[in-house]
Amino acid sequence: VLHVLPGDAATGRAVAADRHVAMVSFTGSTAVGREVARIAGDGLKRVSLELGGKNSIVVLEDADVEAAATAGAVSSFGYQGQACVAAGRHVVHADVVEAYTEALVRQAQALPVGDPRIEGMALGPVISERQAARIERIVNESVAAGARALTGGRREGLFYPPTVLDRVDRSMPAFHEEIFGPVAPVVPFRGEDEAVEIANDTAYGLTAAVHSRSVPRATALAQRLRTGMVHINDVSAKDAANAPFGGMGVSGNASRIGGTASLEQFTQWRWMTAPGPL
């Protein structure tokens, strides 16, 4: 039986606290996830938290730049960027960053923004005025700090266009904050150690992608990333019903949902003994 309970935060608190609820599975922001965990913790309930992310696409100098940019566009602009698995950083080798950025800008400019009921529209509105204002703030503050908006960067009401920022560094909100909007911050690097350091410079740890023509090389770098999921020569925004899904750090409590992982997550072991026949 599926019960749908419309409501606000008070409804969520009541469900998480109710003694008849044995487990809480929550998907949402890290701030709300912490509150859910506190409320459910009073009842010592099992909690599965799937929270936010600041996910990186790492592009090595030997990557197929056009393919990587396509994956980057899908990862940053799909669903207006409103996905926990969206790419929040494009960490690109300095030797190919110009070519990659140009390709990403072309991808962004080819995506129409407007009423999603009109055929051919790629991006619709973001979820709320508050979220649109948040995206605007992060972009404006980053540009004021020295980033450059190569395309997009100006909203019309709830419609925010695909935006590519370059010259992004670690001092900027676009580097640290989860944007949850169609914004692609590009951060250059020189060596693989620097790429790993940039990608891991976050409290989040949900997903990542690594692009290289050498799969062994990409795999070796991917194993150094502190994320619950990582994809080689693909998008960061990847999900499959048969695969365990979840993150590390403030992206979740290291639980996994999906596929056979759900069997362990949503059930409990029980040990029963009985005496032999008399």
- For residue 154 the two structure tokens come to 């100006």
User: Any bridge partners for residue 56, and if so which?
Assistant: 89, 208
148 φψ region: left (φ > 0), alpha (ψ -120 to 50), beta (else): beta
Same-domain check for residues 223 and 147 = yes
- 99 in any annotated domain: yes
Same-domain check for residues 31 and 83 = no
Same-domain check for residues 37 and 149 = no
Q: Is 50 designated active site?
A: yes
Same-domain check for residues 220 and 82 = yes
- 273 in any annotated domain: no
Domain at 217, CATH number: 3.40.309.10
Position 278 scores a pLDDT of 66
Same-domain check for residues 202 and 105 = yes
- 238 in any annotated domain: no
Q: Is 119 designated active site?
A: no
**What pTM does this model have?**
0.93
- 82 in any annotated domain: yes
Same-domain check for residues 79 and 203 = yes
Distance separating alpha carbons of residues 90 and 15, to the nearest angstrom: 39
Same-domain check for residues 134 and 248 = no
Same-domain check for residues 158 and 196 = yes
- 4 in any annotated domain: no
How many Cβ atoms are within 10 Å of 22's Cβ, its own excluded? Answer: 11
Domain extent at residue 196: 55-232
Same-domain check for residues 81 and 207 = yes
User: Number of structural domains, the chain?
Assistant: 2
Mean pLDDT, 10 residues at a time, over the chain (278 residues)?
Answer: 91 95 93 95 94 97 98 97 97 98 98 95 96 98 98 96 97 97 98 98 97 98 97 94 92 89 91 86
Same-domain check for residues 78 and 132 = yes
Position 55 scores a pLDDT of 98
- 278 in any annotated domain: no
Same-domain check for residues 21 and 137 = no
- 45 in any annotated domain: yes
Same-domain check for residues 113 and 201 = yes
Q: Which of 35, 61, 66, 84 is catalytic?
A: 84
Q: Which of 35, 50, 129, 194 is catalytic?
A: 50
